[in-house]
Structure formats: structure tokens, C-alpha cells
Amino acid sequence: MAYATIEDVLARTTQTYTEDEQAVITTLLGDAGLIIDAYNVNASPDAKQTVSCNMVLRVVGTDDTYPMGATQGSMGAGGYSQSWTIGSGGSAGQLYLSKADKMLLKGGGADKIGSYSPVQELAPPILMPICLGVGHYD
């Protein structure tokens, strides 16, 4: 299921795409939706839309000279040399979730660890601090 449209992607770049390229982008949006759902199907619709566009723009790039997601690059002239270093977490030409994408899909928070004991609701309120290990009684 696609969470963004071709118009959403085009609104985030100044580059123009042919009809064939737009068809590929539409297909990639559907693929991005599948990856997003595998990560967190309960993410907000706005987060899903933004992340979908980010993922697709990393694949198609935002212009012909500097690929999105590149952290370093170099170009030559006489020796016809060009190289790019893509940041960790993915590679060019492939749909992936970046760290920022994952944070958006989680709701912006960091990883959380917690626990719940079904018997804590059975303990009288006066014993609750002892049951939770946060206090003691003299």
C-alpha cells in the first residue's frame, strides 16, 4: 500500500521526471509502503507519507550531480573520476529506512524498555511500592 503519491514526491524536489520515471516512482512508493508496514504498521499517516517520499528520493536522487544520502563525494575533470560515499544504513539504488525514518515511524522517541506485571494490579495500593521495587516499609 502506497502512503504517498507522485505529487508528494515531486513537491519535495526541483527535478522533473519523464512519464516512465514517474511510473517507476509510483511502483517504488508501493514498495516503500510494504517496508514501512513491516517496520511499524501503526505509525502515523504523516510519518508514513514523509518516510515514503524520503525512501523514494534516495533511490531516484534529487538531481544528476549529487545523490541523496551521499556523505562524501569527489569529482575529477581530466582523469574522468567520480566517487560517492553513501552513509551507513543503506546504499544507492535501494529502498531502505534511515535512522531518522525509523525515529519518525516510532513516534520520535528512542528505543524504550519496560515491563508489566499482571499481578501488580492484584496487590493492595499500600504494597504497590514494594511490589514494584521502588521503596520499602519500616
1-10 confidence digits (pLDDT tens):
899 999 999 9
The domains of the chain are located at: 6-112
Give the pLDDT mean for 83-87. Answer: 66
Identify the pLDDT of residue 133. Answer: 54
Mean pLDDT of the chain, nearest integer: 78
CA–CA separation, 87 and 94 (whole Å): 13
Residue-wise pLDDT tens digits, 64-78: 555 555 656 677 777
> In this prediction, what percent of the chain has a pLDDT beyond 90?
39
Tell me: pLDDT of 19 over 60.
yes
Round to whole Å and give the CA distance between 22 and 27.
Answer: 9
Kind and range of the H or E element at 57?
helix 45-60
Instruction: Specify the pLDDT at position 28.
Output: 95
Q: How far apart are CA 56 and CA 19, in angstroms?
A: 16
Highest mean pLDDT among 22-31, 97-106, 117-126: 22-31
- Asked whether the beta carbons of 12 and 57 are under 8 A apart, the reply is yes
Question: One-letter amino acid identity for 75?
Answer: M
Average pLDDT over residues 46-69: 79
Q: What residues does 101 pair with on adjacent strands?
A: none
Residue 55 has pLDDT above 80, yes or no: yes
Cα-trace Rg, the chain: 23
